[in-house]
């Protein structure tokens, strides 16, 4: 066999199939049902575009998803990662978010192992609800003003204005602070922190 022929065969090779894809899982399930109802492996393979050997293994229970197959190689199991995500969310809300530097010792606290350099990117891929964002310092005056007494007085004044002017609720809107700089003008250090995907800003006390 010549080298040119080998290269052509490599170029015609199909791309790797993601067997964790819901569409692929559904096609394998339908193919197995057809086989149960009398279809041959070859016919089901052509109909659903699944390799015949893969169908044979799935039908006879000799295979599992890539995620399950590599579970023993993961740093943490699903329950441990959920605890870590909840911990990240809580600390971000309190103004003490975790950075990539401070994450490593917290992983050791949970599972007793230190994560590798590329583990965090696989972790973020598994948990899209978590984002890495730059932090900004919260102005101390803002923090001091956000207390029960001040908030209560504010809403009492707001309700008084609404009642005195007979303003209907459909004419009341929540407005953002357009053009007002957050953090009291202090520059951040460029450090990125883990926060919820839904949060717009990351405050660091």
Q: Decide: 16 and 30 in contact? Cβ < 8 Å.
A: no
Q: What is the pLDDT of residue 78?
A: 81
Q: What is the pLDDT of residue 138?
A: 60
Q: What is the pLDDT of residue 193?
A: 83
Q: What is the pLDDT of residue 63?
A: 66
Nearest CA to 75 among 130, 30, 12, 119? 119
19: left (phi over 0), alpha (psi -120 to 50) or beta: alpha
Contacts of 61 (CB under 8 A, 6+ apart): none
Instruction: Delimit the domains of the chain by residue range.
Output: 16-61, 72-135+188-204, 140-168
| Helical spans, DSSP H, in the chain | 3-12, 22-36, 41-48, 52-59, 66-69, 78-93, 100-111, 119-126, 140-145, 148-164
> What is the Cβ-side half-sphere exposure of residue 63, based on CA atoms within 13 angstroms?
14
C-alpha distance from residue 68 to each of 65, 72, 109 (Å): 5, 8, 25
Read off the pLDDT of residues 108-130 as tens digits, 9 standing for 90 and up: 888 788 888 888 888 888 888 88
CA distance 184 to 186: 6
pTM of this prediction? 0.44
Place of tokens 């660091």: 204
Which residues of the chain are under the pLDDT cut of 70? 1-17, 19-20, 63-74, 135-146, 175-190, 199-205
Contacts of 27 (CB under 8 A, 6+ apart): 48, 49, 50
To which CATH superfamily is domain 72-135+188-204 assigned?
LOTUS domain-like (3.30.420.610)
Q: What is the pLDDT of residue 200?
A: 64
Residue 169 CB coordination number (10 Å):
6
Q: What is the pLDDT of residue 11?
A: 45
The burial class, CB within 10 Å (0-12 / 13-18 / 19+), for 3 is exposed
């Amino acid at each position: 066999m010549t080298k040119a022929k080998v290269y052509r065969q490599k170029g015609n090779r199909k791309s790797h199939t993601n067997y964790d894809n819901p569409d692929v899982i559904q096609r394998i399930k339908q193919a197995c049902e057809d086989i149960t109802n009398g279809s041959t492996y070859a016919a089901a393979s052509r109909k659903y575009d699944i390799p015949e050997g893969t169908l044979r293994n799935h039908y006879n229970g000799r295979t599992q998803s890539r995620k399950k197959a590599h579970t023993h190689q993961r740093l943490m199991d699903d329950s441990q990662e959920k605890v870590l995500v909840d911990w990240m969310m809580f600390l971000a809300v309190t103004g003490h978010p975790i950075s990539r530097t401070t994450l490593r010792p917290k992983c050791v606290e949970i599972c007793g192992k230190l994560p590798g350099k590329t583990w965090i990117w696989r972790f973020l891929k598994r948990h899209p609800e978590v984002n890495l964002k730059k932090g900004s310092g919260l102005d101390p005056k803002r923090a001091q003003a956000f207390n029960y007494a001040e908030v209560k007085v504010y809403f009492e004044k707001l309700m008084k204005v609404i009642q005195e002017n007979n303003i209907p609720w459909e004419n009341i809107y929540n407005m953002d602070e357009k053009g007002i700089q957050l953090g009291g003008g202090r520059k951040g250090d460029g450090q990125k922190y883990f926060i919820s995907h839904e949060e717009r800003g990351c405050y660091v006390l």
